[in-house]
Structure formats: structure tokens, C-alpha cells
Structure 1
Amino acid sequence: MLTQYLDERTMLFPDRVDGWRDAIEQVAAPLLADGAITREYVDAMLTSIANGGTYIDLGYGIALAHARPESGVVRTGLSALWVRPAVLLNDEEAHPIRLFVCLAAADSSAHLAALAQLGQLLTDEAARDALLAATDPTTALAVLTAGEQS
């Protein structure tokens, strides 16, 4: 599922990220540009995080940015943004994030499938560390592809 949606266009390695709000804007940009989500979806993610939504912090410096499908999902999509240095989710010291994954799930089955694959990746320390250390889409895609084949 992850490699079905993540590619060179949807995996971002920016030179600069100015805080968590900018990270959400940047990670959502490919999905917004190709019409998978509307602007309302981005706003819903920002509002949710600002209202204490640090629950999107999956641990290990990875956050799963998402909102409810009715908030502006047109079709299922994923994008990812690697951040160096880490940014503080909702400006909270307890939540430094190095990888933002944006999930736009059109339905609950797509949501669960993506969560299952992310969960599998998070439990594999070597794969997780390799993914966090990626510096370009080719390297990140190789880690994701290997994870899907194991």
C-alpha cells in the first residue's frame, strides 16, 4: 500500500521547514496539487494538531498527519516529508518529528491498510532507522519496497 502511493513526487526532502505548520503545508502539497485532497483537509489537520492533536506522533520521530475523510478527501493518497532538523509537533518538546506522513484515506479500509503497513515498519528497528535516515526518494522507496516484500 505505501509504495502504491509514495513515489518521487510524493516523498519530499526540503532544505527548510519552518515549524510544524509549515511541515503540514509541505507534506500535504503533493496531495493538494493532484486533487486527492481539498484545502479544507489541510486546514482540518492544522486545526486538529493546534487543538492538542499530538496523538499523530507515532513515536520514533514519525507523525501521521490526517483528518476525517469528510474533511476534504477526494481519493486515497499518501505523501511524506523528511525534516532535518526535527520540528516540534504543536511546539511541544515531547514531540520532535523527523518524518511527517500525510494520509488521505477515502474510507476506513484504506486507513486501516496504511496503518497496518506503517505499524509493521515501526516495529522493524532496522527498517525504521533506514527510513528515517533516507536523504532522497530513491533510498526511501528502496526501504519501503523491501518492507513490503518481507
Structure 2
Amino acid sequence: MTRMLTSHLNESTLLFAEELPGWRDAIELVSTPLLEQGRISRDYVDAMLESIAAGGTYIDLGYGIALAHARPERGVIETGMSALWVRPEVLLNDEEAHPISLFVCLAAADSTSHLATMAALGELLSDDAARDSLLAATTTADALAVLTAGENR
């Protein structure tokens, strides 16, 4: 597998936080690297917040992982991804049924540019051991070790 994941998820886009007040704070924080890199506009962050608040718990992939995203026309400038580990978990849309400990933010510039990266992420998350290791990461080095191992399979 090519370096699909680590080309987007790297030292500048992997974040860790403790004691966040809630899911809105998690979305704001996971978006920060993409905003700072000029990959998304503020409108994209607002679109994700609006979507979740309107019942968008469909971004819950299971296992405590959420894939935050919105439509490209809402402010994607360039394709990118970021990730945020939160401890303790926060409730997506304040719903008990959706505890999230890992938020992945996807900004796709168009409908095809992110497909290979999403396939790589899906493959990694479908591997129980790799997914558990990724969820257990507490540092950037931990996360990168799992992502890199996934690419070298």
C-alpha cells in the first residue's frame, strides 16, 4: 500500500486532547490543522457542526471512531485529513449511544480525490488489532507507528 494515510495523517495533523467539554469542541480542534494549512475554510467547520447538530450521528463508524466531513462546496480548498484522540470520550451530538474517542476529519476537494485514502483507512480500521492499537495511541509516535505499519502490509 502506498503512503496514502501518512501523506495526510502526520505530525502536523495528529492531535491529542484530554477533558474536552463536548463534541463541538472536538470538531473545532480536529479542524484546526486543516484550517491552519489552508485546506479548508471556516465555512467547512460550520457545515460539519451543523450537520452533526441536525442528527448527523451517521459519522459514527463504530468502535468509538467518527469521520467528520461535509460537502466539498462548503469550503474545501484542498484535500486533507486530520485526527484527534480525546480522553475521556465525548458523546457525539450529546447522545449516549455515540461515545467517540477518535475523531477523523476528512476534507475532500472532489468526489474522487479521497477514495484511495478512504480505502486505506477502511482497510486499517477493519483490522481488529490495528484498530485497537490506533485507538490506544496516546502520542503522535504511537499513532504514526500504527499508520505506517498499516501501509507496509
Q: Deviations over 1:99-149 (max 9, x none)?
A: 000000111122322321121112100000000000011110110011011
1:129 aligns with 2:136: no
Q: How many residues align?
A: 150
**What does 1:32-71 align with in structure 2 at a 5 Å threshold?**
32-71=35-74
Q: SS of the residue aligned with 2:102?
A: strand
Unaligned runs of 5+ in 2: none
Q: SS of the residue aligned with 1:13?
A: strand
| Whole-Å separation in 2 of the counterparts to 1:148 and 1:109 | 20
| Whole-Å separation in 2 of the counterparts to 1:94 and 1:16 | 19
Percent identity between the two aligned chains? 73
Query: 1:22 is matched with which residue?
Result: 25
Q: SS of the residue aligned with 1:110?
A: coil
**1:73 deviation in Å?**
0.2
| Whole-Å separation in 1 of the counterparts to 2:89 and 2:17 | 12
| Whole-Å separation in 1 of the counterparts to 2:5 and 2:97 | 27
| Whole-Å separation in 1 of the counterparts to 2:116 and 2:93 | 27
Query: 1:99 is matched with which residue?
Result: 102
- In the superposition, the TM-score normalised over structure 2's length comes to 0.95
| Whole-Å separation in 2 of the counterparts to 1:27 and 1:140 | 15
Which one of 57, 82, 89 corresponds to residue 85 of structure 2?
A: 82
| Whole-Å separation in 1 of the counterparts to 2:120 and 2:20 | 26
8 Å contact kept, 2:68–2:106:
yes
- C-alpha root-mean-square deviation of aligned residues, in Å? 0.9
- In the superposition, the TM-score normalised over structure 1's length comes to 0.97
Unaligned runs of 5+ in 1: none
